[in-house]
């Protein structure tokens, strides 16, 4: 049981390049999330999904797109990277069980640098 995994772990992009970050979870969770964390700051929600085929905007969605084609995967895309998108990106998932704790399980993060 791997939990939440993220690919890649590190990436360096040039301004204007595009890339996709992959998040996978093996806990059969309904909800998935993408956050970014800038140095010394808390996490900010970019986009989230409440189920396969659905996505919604979070606090800082501009410059990012997401897709949830399969329940276990949540992809974050940067179409034209900018230096302001240099950050650590965390993916998380949580369950729908009303009797549960609604705990979010986080991946190890992807460190992205845009030059």
Partner 1 sequence: LAKTTQPISMDSYEGQEVNITCSHNNIATNDYITWYQQFPSQGPRFIIQGYKTKVTNEVASLFIPADRKSSTLSLPRVSLSDTAVYYCLVGGRAAGNKLTFGGGTRVLVKP
Q: Which positions lie near partner 1, rule CB under 8 A?
A: 4, 31, 33, 35, 41-45, 48, 50, 56, 58-59, 90, 92, 94, 101-109
Question: What is the separation, in whole angstroms, between the first and last Cα of the chain?
Answer: 36
Minimum gap (Å) between residue 40 Cβ and partner 1: 8
* 95 backbone dihedrals φ, ψ, rounded to 5°: -95, 170
Residue 16, judged by CB atoms within 10 A of its CB (0-12, 13-18, 19+), counts as exposed
Task: For partner 1, give the closer residue by CB, 39 or 69.
Answer: 39
What is the closest distance, in whole angstroms, from the C-beta atom of residue 43 to partner 1 in the complex? 4
């Amino acid at each position: 049981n791997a939990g939440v995994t993220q690919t890649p772990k590190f990436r360096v992009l040039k301004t204007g390049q595009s890339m996709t970050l992959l998040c996978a979870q093996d806990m059969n969770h309904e909800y998935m999330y993408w956050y970014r964390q800038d140095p010394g700051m808390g996490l900010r929600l970019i986009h989230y999904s409440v189920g396969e085929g659905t996505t919604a905007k979070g606090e800082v969605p501009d410059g990012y797109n997401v897709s949830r084609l399969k329940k276990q995967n949540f992809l974050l895309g940067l179409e034209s990277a900018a230096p302001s998108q240099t950050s650590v990106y965390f993916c998380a998932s949580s369950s729908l069980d009303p009797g549960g704790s609604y705990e979010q399980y986080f991946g190890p993060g992807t460190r992205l640098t845009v030059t």
